[in-house]
Structure 1
Amino acid sequence: MRPQRHKPAAPDTPPHRTPEQLRGTSSERGYGYRWQKAREGFLRKHPLCVHCEQRGRVTAATDVDHITPHRGDKDLFWDRQNWQGLCHPCHSVKTATEDGGFGNFRAK
């Protein structure tokens, strides 16, 4: 008696999508031209990293961080009271902490 042969998936089976693909592009997540302009203006007015300042260091802010993650909420996304300037290393650590570690994030 022969073992069963592998049968390929049916054509209507959805293709596997990586978490990065599920996440969508930066523009799809709201970080398009309007965000880039708002970000530039915010960093001009808030040029220093908030977290580094709290530790007594002077470091240029390069990223605008949402203090409370917006998770797709457009009102929270555009609420400037929810923004802070961070240097890239501080932003990476904060984001990784919120999302469960480097390389991990919560998909929609």
Structure 2
Amino acid sequence: MPARPLRPCAAPGCGALVVTGRCALHRVADRRAQDVVRGSTTERGYDWAWRKLRARYLDANPLCECDECKAGKLKVTVAQVVDHRIAIEDRPDLRLEWSNLRSMSKAHHDAHTARTRGWGRAHRA
């Protein structure tokens, strides 16, 4: 299959040629700008209490609890991530509620996030 033609970086005024999107310099700048707006992990609710609860939850639930694994559609894998069933942005009061948590593998969590929030969509403020 032939390589895609190079095109200019999508950043205004940048002439760097890329396969798609933005050049490396502008991707880094975009990420930094997003991180400033996004806030630190602690500001987003992932403080010491969360880290402690997360470790306890993973110890108690070491396998992926995603809907597909529970339904037998995917091979059950070891969990690395603890997901909030109802997002912190929607219900901050459920942030540390055991019943609002589920353990997930990184791959299944990434797929779930892409489906529900969409990659590249602006985060809710």
TM-score category of the 2 structures, normalised to the smaller one? 0.7 to 0.9
User: Counterpart of 2:75 in structure 1: which amino acid?
Assistant: R
Aligned counterpart, 2:108: 90
Aligned counterpart, 2:62: 47
Partner Cα separation in structure 2 for residue 91 and residue 105 of structure 1: 18
Aligned counterpart, 1:23: 38
Aligned counterpart, 1:37: 52
The answer (yes or no) to whether the contact 1:63–1:86 under 8 Å persists in 2 is yes
* Structure 1 runs, 4 residues or longer, greater than 2 Å off: 17-20, 51-56
The secondary structure found in structure 1 opposite 2:62 is coil
User: Counterpart of 1:76 in structure 2: which amino acid?
Assistant: L
By how many angstroms is 1:72 displaced?
6.1
Number of aligned residue pairs: give it.
91
Aligned counterpart, 2:96: 78
Is residue 2:80 matched to residue 1:62?
Answer: yes
By how many angstroms is 1:68 displaced?
1.4
TM-score normalised by structure 1 residue count:
0.72
Partner Cα separation in structure 1 for residue 45 and residue 86 of structure 2: 16
Considering Cα pairs closer than 8 Å and 6+ residues apart, tell me whether 1 or 2 has the greater RCO: 1
Q: Is there any run of 5+ residues in structure 1 with no aligned partner, and where? A: 1-16
TM-score normalised by structure 2 residue count:
0.63
The answer (yes or no) to whether the contact 2:89–2:124 under 8 Å persists in 1 is no
The secondary structure found in structure 2 opposite 1:102 is coil
The answer (yes or no) to whether the contact 2:53–2:96 under 8 Å persists in 1 is no
Which has the greater radius of gyration? 1
Identity rate, percent: 32
Structure 1 residues 18 and 72: CA distance shift in structure 2, 3 A: farther
